[in-house]
Chain A
């Protein structure tokens, strides 16, 4: 057997290793309940903003507080140690990476899905006329 073949086999082994580790590293999307079972462990939660609850940005503490509802319908207070993201009210879906604590879910990173503004402006252009 040639050395190059041995090398290739070793590299295929590394590739399989990479796949296994990635699957291990990959988090799963969970609800707030599951995050609360392991407080302090990081999870990714997908939910949406509870528009009926108040939200508040305290600039002095640089903490943004809001309430989110996860896919199982559970409401949870969320802390985010950043200014309020732009257009937060209009978001359809919020992806929160963070961990649960006694008092709230602490989000370290937030991604939002927003409806396109462009469409909305167009609709307005359409309605104004009649």
Chain B
């Protein structure tokens, strides 16, 4: 059958590009392998051409998918799922990588770019490192192949047509040649999730995925070194890449935090969500790896650890990919991807590189050069090594707790080996659980950052060390005292310790650069990055540890039960919020957004408010009303507010009845509605048949219900349901005294239940209201400044490494 109106060519080009990318990666892998064995120049030529062809394939995939999205070809499943006609052009990028397939392609794209750079710059390392790259790319490309050899699903293609998806095959409409013109469902896509229609979705995923991709370079160098048996000289070319990875992956993660804080209503920038954790952990390990590489470069010690951490970071990226995309997190995360049925393939991808990398490391373990002792207590390398160990252990703790669903799969009651009798659930208070571990780790890390700069490689003389560091310590103590007093940290020894070590780390790094480094650029990288990191710790501590919820519900559940952290605000009424008097001023609807204006006055009676905020609810068919916060930024604190509910959301019927409730009843069933029992006693049917044809013309179903109030008084009601000429109609019953309305809404044929709807009459003069949550985050700007400085510092470090080599 010929289908009408389909645009098959761009999809064909896309699929061909996927095959090309996949095939060429394999060819490149084989050719690089043969070249490494034979040193035959011809293989080298083939390998390079194959990788170039692979890169061309990847570009082809990217362009075809963009073309499909921009042309609104909704016959393609991916286009239909992730875009719509009214989607603004600037969100086409967001639509591109909203789905799993698109984000695989984004990852593939960055690997291809980094691979090309490596291919022309790695020189003697090209052969082996590009072998690793090609193998990784072959695996990744297979994720978007979308073929079914021997009944197995290999990859999920973004170029598949809607009528070809597993869900749709065999459905009647796929047999209609002009289905595109005939059915309105295909005229427009289901659209991009409105939560993702903002500029963060445009910049965050590409940065994060470049970060993911960047961890492959140190991994490739480490594996190349193990393959070649040349275990030392890879460190120099790998170093700038490791710092690049630290910078860009760090930037990607922090952007995610900033996005969550600015535009989502999680109530903070970090929630220890499994998806957040799984990108943080590889970053922490990469920071450790970069520092170990530095130790080796300067002191020729700790090489095994450097190789191990470089490998581990990329393995953790693969593990994270498995966690977030296989559906294993299901119960425990708010924003994991949906399962595409690729978990087997993802697992093979993960295990393949884990087994090979660790196997190679074990195989070469004895061949590592013997090293000078690097454990003098006054040496920089010893404490840097300890610092890297702390990073490793801190990442281990995070990933272990995040992996509870995986542990269930392995040794839970239904797992491979059932060791546990009950399924483990993630910690009830995740934030507390993680903080109780990460806080002590941060304290030690901050202390090491503070003293590290003042220690020399080899040995440090105690006198000169104390001389140069004592002033920073004194300044830090003063600043810590100030902050501790301002934000009352004295009673919290652990918080106080982090505050002190964090400030000490910041001050001593700044001092080092200004006084000892003489403000030279060549020293700036590490000082700026460490200064920034210390600010992140201090900023996170103050803003999170001393956050203050200023919206409180007046309603308590009971004694000792936590009060609600949401305040009800009637239109025009003044309520106290922290030091402000807040007034809900009104609602404005602009397109699909409801803006709620709330003014904050310093004191009652002020003519002008100190400031006003307009948090909004984004209305959409897909997600319903989604709260979007609005934040007032002061230099020393943020006031972060979002609306969780409003009276405008309550369904209002034109007759003034609200609070719709629905219940399904069988004969004899009882439901409770607004302190009344509703009992279905019986049903009666009146049917009217056409006299000539004996066909059913109309039917009236009457339900006989009793409404019983708390005093036991009964009120019989008989709402009815009518079908006439295939049209539905209802005869509702209104109880005047109770101000309730009942409707026999529908009949559920399978269960033989009736669907009953009930409303209560809206009280006259009811004011509109909102339910709002407001939090003060003190000193959160320290956190953001720290983030920016840390990233800048990392890139200065990369730049200096490149200049040196």
Q: Are B566 and A62 in contact (CB under 8 A)?
A: yes
* B201 contacts A by Cβ under 8 Å: no
State how many angstroms separate the Cβ of B290 from the closest Cβ of chain A: 19
Q: In the complex, given contacts A26-B425, A130-B172, what are 10 additional A-B residue pairs having Cβ atoms less than 8 angstroms apart? A: A7-B385, A18-B400, A19-B400, A22-B400, A28-B422, A29-B425, A81-B557, A81-B566, A82-B644, A121-B185
Give residues in B with beta carbon < 8 Å to A. Answer: 81, 162, 167-168, 171-173, 176, 182-183, 185-186, 190, 302, 330-332, 334, 338, 373-375, 377, 382, 385-386, 389-390, 392-393, 396-397, 400-401, 404, 422-429, 433, 437, 553, 555, 557-558, 561-562, 564, 566, 568, 622-626, 644-645, 647, 650, 659, 661, 663-665, 669, 671-674, 769, 771
**CB-CB under 8 A for A7 and B386, given A56-B661, A62-B771:** yes
| Residues from chain A with Cβ under 8 Å of B422 in the complex | 28-29
Q: Are A27 and B664 in contact (CB under 8 A)?
A: no
* A101 contacts B by Cβ under 8 Å: yes
| Residues from chain A with Cβ under 8 Å of B172 in the complex | 126, 129-130
State how many angstroms separate the Cβ of A120 from the closest Cβ of chain B: 10
Partner among B425, B562, B664 whose Cβ is within 8 Å of the Cβ of A51: B664
Q: Are A59 and B568 in contact (CB under 8 A)?
A: yes
Q: Are B176 and A129 in contact (CB under 8 A)?
A: yes
State how many angstroms separate the Cβ of A83 from the closest Cβ of chain B: 4
| Residues from chain B with Cβ under 8 Å of A60 in the complex | 555, 568
- Size class of A's contact patch? 35 or more
Smallest CB gap from B555: residue in A: A61
Q: Are B424 and A86 in contact (CB under 8 A)?
A: no
Q: Are B663 and A27 in contact (CB under 8 A)?
A: no
Smallest CB gap from B385: residue in A: A4
CA distance A93 to B715 in the complex (A): 36
Which secondary structure dominates chain A's binding surface?
mixed
**CB-CB under 8 A for A125 and B173, given A22-B401, A62-B566:** yes
Q: Are B424 and A7 in contact (CB under 8 A)?
A: no
Q: Are B331 and A95 in contact (CB under 8 A)?
A: yes
CA distance A94 to B337 in the complex (A): 18
CA distance A29 to B338 in the complex (A): 23
**CB-CB under 8 A for A106 and B561, given A4-B375, A18-B400, A126-B171:** yes
**CB-CB under 8 A for A2 and B375, given A44-B425, A111-B331:** yes
**Closest CB pairs A-B (n = 5):** A86-B624, A125-B185, A126-B171, A3-B375, A83-B645
Smallest CB gap from A55: residue in B: B661
**Residues of chain A in range 6-54 having any CB-CB distance to chain B below 8 Å:** 7-8, 11, 14-15, 18-19, 21-23, 25-29, 42-44, 46, 51-54
State how many angstroms separate the Cβ of A38 from the closest Cβ of chain B: 13
State how many angstroms separate the Cβ of B222 from the closest Cβ of chain A: 20
CA distance A7 to B622 in the complex (A): 53
Smallest CB gap from B560: residue in A: A40
CA distance A81 to B672 in the complex (A): 20
**CB-CB under 8 A for A129 and B375, given A53-B663, A59-B650, A87-B624:** no
CA distance A107 to B400 in the complex (A): 26
Chain B CB within 10 A, most for which of A27, A46, A57, A128: A27
CA distance A36 to B398 in the complex (A): 31
Smallest CB gap from B389: residue in A: A11
12 A-B contacts, Cβ less than 8 Å apart? A22-B427, A25-B433, A44-B426, A56-B674, A59-B568, A59-B650, A61-B553, A62-B553, A81-B566, A86-B626, A97-B428, A121-B185
CA distance A26 to B623 in the complex (A): 31
Smallest CB gap from A116: residue in B: B338
Q: Are B624 and A54 in contact (CB under 8 A)?
A: no
| Residues from chain A with Cβ under 8 Å of B428 in the complex | 27, 42-44, 97
Q: Are A15 and B396 in contact (CB under 8 A)?
A: yes
Write the A98-130 contact mask toward B (1 if CB under 8 angstroms, else 0): 000100001010010100111101111110111
CA distance A56 to B673 in the complex (A): 9
CA distance A18 to B650 in the complex (A): 47
State how many angstroms separate the Cβ of A48 from the closest Cβ of chain B: 13
**Residues of chain A in range 61-99 having any CB-CB distance to chain B below 8 Å:** 61-63, 79, 81-83, 86-87, 95, 97
Smallest CB gap from B770: residue in A: A59
Q: Are A62 and B190 in contact (CB under 8 A)?
A: no
Smallest CB gap from A129: residue in B: B173
State how many angstroms separate the Cβ of B619 from the closest Cβ of chain A: 11
| Residues from chain B with Cβ under 8 Å of A19 in the complex | 400
State how many angstroms separate the Cβ of B117 from the closest Cβ of chain A: 35
Q: Are B568 and A8 in contact (CB under 8 A)?
A: no
| Residues from chain A with Cβ under 8 Å of B561 in the complex | 101, 106
| Residues from chain B with Cβ under 8 Å of A62 in the complex | 553, 555, 564, 566, 568, 644-645, 771
| Residues from chain A with Cβ under 8 Å of B769 in the complex | 59
Q: Are A118 and B183 in contact (CB under 8 A)?
A: no
